[in-house]
Amino acid sequence: MTMEERDVILSVRNLDVNFGSRRKPFRAVKNVSFDIYKGETFGLVGESGSGKTTIGRAILRIHPVSGGEILYKGERISGKISRELDRKVVSEIQMIFQDPMSSLNERAKVDYIVAEGTYNTKKHLSKRERALLVDQALLDVGLLPEFASRFPHEFSGGQRQRIGVARSLIMEPEFIVADEPISALDVSIRAQVLNLLSKLQKERGLTYLFIAHDLSVMRFISDRIAVISRGQLVELAPSEELFRAPLHPYTKALLSVVPQPDPESERGKKILVYDPSVHDYDEDPPVWEEVVPGHFVLGNQREMEGYRMEANR
């Protein structure tokens, strides 16, 4: 496996994110660790409320980190950082949001929406240079430059999502957090946006953190998938391996509910229900361990033995 040789672009180490008062915190993310390699698409799957978006937002420095650290290209970007690093992180790490209907400013024209980031990071630009950048960004996502003078309500859902992609591209990012970028879109437009994202990845060597709850899309787009449940990662593996040999009962349950466009198997389908009480973690707390190269799972010593046997079968 060449995995060890690849460059790590982002590294999350023992991340904790708490909300609420300090005395009675709500632990949204508990002790999460993973590495994302340069140029890959890393999928993060979980139910709503599992903390997947919180991790994405912590990477973007929107939520403060309560414990652990986040390293970007080897430098710590969580907590207090220098102004230069902050500037670098702001332009190199960008986000694409879920709902194209609510993530664009309804009162601003497309040229302002797309250019907004550059007003902060590229102050020296003249009006013309900025307009050229906007035109290029729109062309890159398959829209026409004349759209710049229109308002968001004049566009369809798919076009709006492209505008959302254009405004992150203009910052020349290297790492993009895509938070459910296609969940709100129609089937046919989904395919277009997925194709656009993978085309941009190939052309610019982008790295994606792809957050979604739909495993069927994940299998297609992600190189590796991490499954999160109640703020903890429960399993992490290359996509095909995760689908072929899921180990953790939560992953198995999640895979069992993925709808497939196949009426025969849908009718005979058995839905597995995840019951957290199967774990006996009171005396033997769970650890995050690599059972086979590249395949991590959360479990205590007794479970780990079973997982290892299952993985090597």
Partner 1 sequence: MFRATPSRMQLIRNSTFKGENMQKQILSVKDLDVKFNLRGRTLHAIRSLSVDVYRGETLAIVGESGSGKTVLNKNFIGLLDANGFIDGGEILYYGDHEVRDLAKFKGEKDWLGFRGREISMILQDPMTSLNPLKTIGSQIAEAVRVHQKLVGDDLKVAVHELLHEVGIENPEKRARQYPHEFSGGMRQRVVIAIAIACQPKILICDEPTTALDVTIQAQILNLLKELKKKLMLTIIFITHDLGVVANVADRVAVMYAGDIVEIGTAEEVFYDPRHPYTWALLSSLPQLGIKGEELYSIKGTPPNLFAPIVGDAFAPRNPQALEIDFLKEPPYFEVSPTHKAKTWLLDPRAPKVEPPEYIKNIRGMGRR
Q: Give the nearer residue to partner 1 in terms of CB position, either 268 or 285.
A: 268
Q: Give the nearer residue to partner 1 in terms of CB position, either 5 or 262.
A: 262
Q: Give the nearer residue to partner 1 in terms of CB position, either 138 or 221.
A: 221
Out of 52, 162, 190, 224, which residue is the one contacting partner 1 (CB under 8 A)? 190
CB of 254 to partner 1, least distance (A): 7
CB of 183 to partner 1, least distance (A): 9
CB 77 within 8 A of CB 10: no
> From residue 156, how far is each of 160, 179, 184, 289 by CA, in Å?
6, 19, 12, 45
Q: Cα separation of 60 and 212, whole Å? A: 17
Q: Give the nearer residue to partner 1 in terms of CB position, either 126 or 265.
A: 265
Residue 16: count other Cβ atoms within 10 Å of its Cβ: 17
Tokens of 120: 């902060």
CB of 78 to partner 1, least distance (A): 28
SS (H, E, C) 237-297: EEHHHHHHCCCCHHHHHHHHCCCCCCHHHHHCCCCCCCCHHHCCCCCCCCEEEEEECCEEE
CB of 213 to partner 1, least distance (A): 5
Out of 19, 26, 119, 220, which residue is the one contacting partner 1 (CB under 8 A)? 220
Q: Give the nearer residue to partner 1 in terms of CB position, either 93 or 200.
A: 200
Q: Cα separation of 10 and 72, whole Å? A: 5
Residue 12, strand partner residues? 34, 70
Out of 7, 86, 186, 310, which residue is the one contacting partner 1 (CB under 8 A)? 186
Residue 300 near partner 1 by CB under 8 A = no
Residue 216 near partner 1 by CB under 8 A = yes
| Burial class for 92, CB neighbours closer than 10 Å (0-12, 13-18, 19+) | middle
Residue 211 near partner 1 by CB under 8 A = no
Residue 108 near partner 1 by CB under 8 A = no
Residue 191 near partner 1 by CB under 8 A = yes
Q: Give the nearer residue to partner 1 in terms of CB position, either 191 or 311.
A: 191
CB of 182 to partner 1, least distance (A): 9
Q: What is the amino acid identity at position 168?
A: S
Edge-to-edge order in the sheet of strand 224-229: 93-96, 175-179, 207-212, 41-45, 224-229, 232-238, 295-299, 287-292
- Three-state secondary structure call for residue 11: strand
The residue range among 52-60, 170-178, 208-216, 289-297 that interacts with partner 1, by the rule CB under 8 A, is: 208-216
CB 227 within 8 A of CB 236: yes
Q: Write each residue from 123 to 152 as x if it is in contact with partner 1 (CB under 8 A), else as -, in one continuous string.
A: ------------------------------
CB of 48 to partner 1, least distance (A): 5
Question: Of residues 231-290, which lie at the interface with partner 1 (CB under 8 A)?
Answer: 239, 253-254, 257-267, 269, 271
CB of 269 to partner 1, least distance (A): 7
CB 193 within 8 A of CB 236: no
Binding stretches for partner 1 (CB under 8 A): 47-48, 156-157, 186-192, 194-195, 198-199, 213-217, 219-221, 239, 253-254, 257-267, 269, 271
